[in-house]
Amino acid sequence: MVDKIRLEKLQKIKNLGINPYPYSFNIKHYSQDIKDNYESLKGQTSSVAGRIMQLRDFGGLSFFHIQDSKGRIQIMVKKEYASAQALKILNYLDLGDIVGIEGEITKTQKGEISINAKNITILAKALRAIPDKYKGLTDTELRYRKRYLDLIANPSVKNYFIVRQKIIDSIREFLNARGYLEVDTPILQKVYGGAAAKPFTTYHNALDQKLYLRISNELYLKRLIIGGIEKVYEFSKDFRNEDIDSTHNPEFTQVEFYEAYKDYNDYMELTKEMFSKILKDIGLGKKFVYQGKTIDFDDFKKISLYEEIKKKTSIDITEWKDEEQAYKEVCDLGLKPSKKTLGKCIDALMDEYVIKGLTNPTFLVDFPYYVCPLTKQKRDNPKLAERFELIIAGYECANCYSELTDPIEQRNKFLEQARNLKKGDEESNPIDEDFLEAIEYGMPPTAGMGLGIDRISMILTNNISIKEVILFPSLRDQD
């Protein structure tokens, strides 16, 4: 709650004729720049600004540290040097206040680089106390719920988001250099599709129309492939009305990219090249430690999901006749699929018997064709699909297809999904007639891939939850 004493100090500042919330302040240097270039700057007059993080008063001499976007620097206030107004303002300062300082760059007797303050400008009087400097902000949920306090109390957290943006920039540079066109496609869609997920719904009053927040941008990007944009990508916010956990957030970021005349084999090679650039651009070697395990990006694996499950359980997932058989066989192994669907039964087997042991980047191939409604059949085994999931450190980080381009087969797949939706499978999709019309004009052979930015950022910053790399993750309401 707002601090009564701070409110009183606020009024006293106003009584001095000072606006405690001014419009601007001229910054000449940042903290780390002064420290890095002290020898050439010492003795010069500078101006800095930041939040007060420590405050000590020794009578005629006061010290406080301010935190700016590059670090911290000590401010020294001497009665014989500081202006009369600066000394008055000093009496009303608290931890958390944002101030501007003008003064001489110097060192203390103990050798700490400091600013000897001549003038102090109050830039924002804080009415609430910031987290204790010793205890800090350690409650994980509070850190996510009040990210602004997290960034104040734990400034190193900002680096996670710097790395995240570098990853996005690196991918964008990689695709642009190969002639891909970045586009924007609708977030509000009349028909949702492109992923197995339950959508969020909304309503457009002027159109008198029910709309959905997109679960994927896949079908719109494929329309552009059909229209002749042969290399296309989009960084997108997608929305799925699903559970929240360490690797799922209902609002998440991914990049989807598509290229005509390529297949999923081509995209395996492109994936290796892309990650080589990403790791270089964020200053991480191809071999690094994640949560105690070494990940080697010079050692991509390729594993058959179908063969691994059959080898470890004796179950042939391509021979399942229906959901009842699949659910029984999986439950007989002591597993509990989240839903009685073929896809969730495969997920349960995959999580237990395949993904757990995968640390190095792995292309997981050979998914059953019946759970891949947008994918071509595998050339040498029509019961399987030309699809891979990229697994890193046991997490699914990307999904790639040799895209289905046969309009008749695509219609049959959509009809099957619509039947499943009608039977109660909320993660199946309705028929998108406009997309079917588009593909009937002819779609070239195409490879497509979706890469999850949140999970990749989580791994490359050595975190165990995507909430650490999403500035404002979704959380349940507090009681």
Residue 348 lies in a domain: no
342 SS3 class = helix
Domain count, the chain: 2
CA dihedral 26, 29, 31, 34 (to 10 degrees): -150
Residue type, 370: Y
pLDDT higher than threshold 80 for residue 133: no
DSSP state of 105: E
Residues 121 and 174 in one domain: no
Residues 120 and 209 in one domain: no
Residue-level pLDDT at 446: 98
* Sheet strands side by side (includes 209-213): 188-189, 209-213, 201-204
Rounded CA-CA distance 319/301 in Å is 26
Q: Which domain, by its residues, includes 102? A: 4-130
Mean pLDDT for all residues in the chain: 96
Mean pLDDT of 262-291: 98
Q: Which residue has the tokens 């059949």?
A: 377
**The whole model's pTM is what?**
0.95
Residue 346 lies in a domain: no
Rounded CA-CA distance 473/228 in Å is 37
Which CATH number do you get for residue 388?
3.30.930.10
Residues 274 and 366 in one domain: yes
What region does 472 belong to: left with phi over 0, alpha with psi -120 to 50, or beta? beta
Residue 119 lies in a domain: yes
Residue-level pLDDT at 138: 86
Residues 249 and 385 in one domain: yes
Residue 51 lies in a domain: yes
Residues 70-104 pLDDT 10s: 999 999 999 999 999 999 999 999 999 999 999 99
Residues 282-330 pLDDT 10s: 999 999 999 999 999 999 999 999 999 999 999 999 999 999 999 999 9
Residue 265 lies in a domain: yes
Rounded CA-CA distance 41/28 in Å is 12
What region does 394 belong to: left with phi over 0, alpha with psi -120 to 50, or beta? left
Residues 85 and 173 in one domain: no
